[in-house]
Copies of this chain bind each other. A is one copy, B any other.
Amino acid sequence: MTAKEKLYALEKKLTAYGHAMGILMYDGSTTAPSATAANRGETLAMLSEESYKISTSEETRAILQELSENAESLDPVTKRIVTLRLRDMEEISKIPMDEYIEYQKLINESDDVWHKAKANDDYDSFAPYIDKIVAFNKRFASYVRPDMDAYDYALDRFEKGLTRETLDKFFENLRVTLAPTVALVKSAVPVDESPLNEIMPLDVQRKFSDLLMDILLLDRSHVGIGETEHPFTTSFTRHDVRITTNYSEEHYASSMYSVIHEGGHALYEANTDVNNAYNCAGNAASMAVHESQSRFYENIIGRSIAFVKMLSPKLKALCPALEKYTDEELYRAFNASKPSLIRTEADELFYSYHIMIRYELEKRLFTGEITAKELPDEWNKMYKEYLGVIVPNNREGVLQDTHWSGGMFGYFPSYALGSAYGAQLYARMKETVDIEGDVEKGDLTNINEWLRQNIWTIGSMLEPGEIMERAFGGKFDPSYYTNYLKEKYETIYG
């Protein structure tokens, strides 16, 4: 075998390990019996160890070095794989293997503890995991990038080049620019949310999920749906993608928007370049790019009046209790805006404030200014300060999100950044696609095709920032986002 053939064999092997780990985790979150996490942790640790060994072996290093010495003779995909793998290897090989494996075990256990802690509103059982995970992340940062602030490194892991400096400005700008709109919404007459309170039986909601996935043009022979506590998307390869949702009879709109959100992630994953299905050049570019897709479908498309008009007759056929509402009433209810407790159910306007709170708390956990012990009080204080809401318990407070239990510190800002990316993509796409017309017809072909060409098939061939600038046709400009929000909410509440 040539070095190039060896590289692709290696990529395929790493993809297979990723698949095995992915399905174990998916099973753990969806259907596994409750007391099986420890056993699953053992298996995940072994697979992760093997995968780690392969990524960092002398043999792999030799292959990558041989290829990188002849980089000019390589095709662009191979060249890119070598670049990405060398970068990864550089990082990962700085983390001692035993610590890496210990961390994987901790994460697996922590996820299980978090599920139970949330169910029982028992923060204390989960708290030690937060401190341990933060400590691991800080230690790993000091190994990999001793020159860098540990939290900047946490941000950089999910979005290359993202720093506290950038984010502090970004969030400050949002706060200032959106202040008048926030004030307007807070003082306005609330919209009527009755359409959200109609009961939809679970089996009808399952059919509704199928309908929504069909509208998004997800290929169901490659994209499945499961049920879990906290919705997520996982992709074993582009050929096998799973979204998940959480049903509650009393809150059909919660699952509805989860399905559209996760459906956006799934469209991206299932439409990366088929030629790179088994190598890392085909991977999605970053978390912020990912969130730009999911939040584009969830909000810009899924909460638009055009979408509501198109969906309304189908929704009413499934759930006759909704027949009494006009399209406008449904649209207003789906866009009801108010400060609230739960991030995933927040409206677009207040969403970023949930992110800012997490971002501020993560920064303080990383500096050591606070520890897990102080976290619930600090969380509750910030919810009072930023959103004016009283957190009644930790289940609906600090325990609501899965991210920290999975070690994903530095991830939350991707949601806000992704939302802002989405608004700018929308403006650019509108120049060539009749978005509203297509959505109202229920035909998302052109919209998907635009994103397929400009984002999805690029995979990791370029850095995330480059992909977005090409798609925007210019620099990232958060005013698209603030303008979009101001216009939308001032129309609804003005």
Contact = CB atoms under 8 A, between A and B. Distances in A.
A21 to B, nearest CB: 8
- 3 tightest A-B CB contacts, nearest first: A35-B221, A16-B46, A36-B240
A54 B240 CA distance: 28
Given A35-B239, A220-B33, A221-B34, A43 B27 contact: no
Contact of A239 (B38, B219, B221): B38
Interface string A377-403: 000000000000000000000000000
A210 to B, nearest CB: 12
Contacts of A236: 36, 39, 43
Interface residues of A, number: 39
B33 A224 contact: yes
Interface string A5-27: 00000001101110110011011
Contact of A42 (B16, B26, B31): B16
A32 interface: yes
A240 B40 contact: yes
Contacts of A16: 42-43, 46-47
B24 A20 contact: yes
Contact of A47 (B20, B34, B224, B239): B20
Nearest to A218: B33
A376 interface: no
A240 B39 contact: yes
A223 interface: yes
A50 B27 CA distance: 22
B31 A43 contact: no
Nearest to A32: B224
Residue from the set A23, A26, A220 with the largest chain B CB neighbour count within 10 Å: A23
A237 interface: yes
Contacts of A32: 224, 240
A222 interface: yes
10 contacts: A12-B46, A13-B46, A16-B47, A23-B24, A26-B27, A31-B31, A33-B220, A33-B240, A39-B237, A39-B240
A226 interface: yes
Contacts of A30: 31
B39 A19 contact: yes
Contacts of A23: 20, 23-24, 27
Contact of A35 (B12, B31, B47, B222): B222
Contacts of A223: 33
B35 A19 contact: no
Contacts of A43: 15-16, 19-20, 236
Nearest to A20: B20
A40 B22 CA distance: 12
Contacts of A13: 46
A418 B223 CA distance: 40
Interface string A309-335: 000000000000000000000000000
A13 B43 CA distance: 8
A116 to B, nearest CB: 12
A31 B239 contact: no
A42 B222 contact: no
Interface in A400-417: none
A39 B226 contact: no
A19 B224 CA distance: 22
A31 B23 CA distance: 11
A17 B38 CA distance: 16
Contacts of A39: 19, 236-237, 239-240
Contacts of A34: 220-221
A283 to B, nearest CB: 15
Contacts of A46: 12-13, 16-17
Interface in A183-213: 203
A375 to B, nearest CB: 29
A40 B240 CA distance: 8
Contact of A36 (B36, B50, B222): B222
A347 B410 CA distance: 60
Nearest to A220: B33
Nearest to A240: B36
Given A31-B226, A33-B220, A34-B221, A12 B42 contact: yes
A102 to B, nearest CB: 16
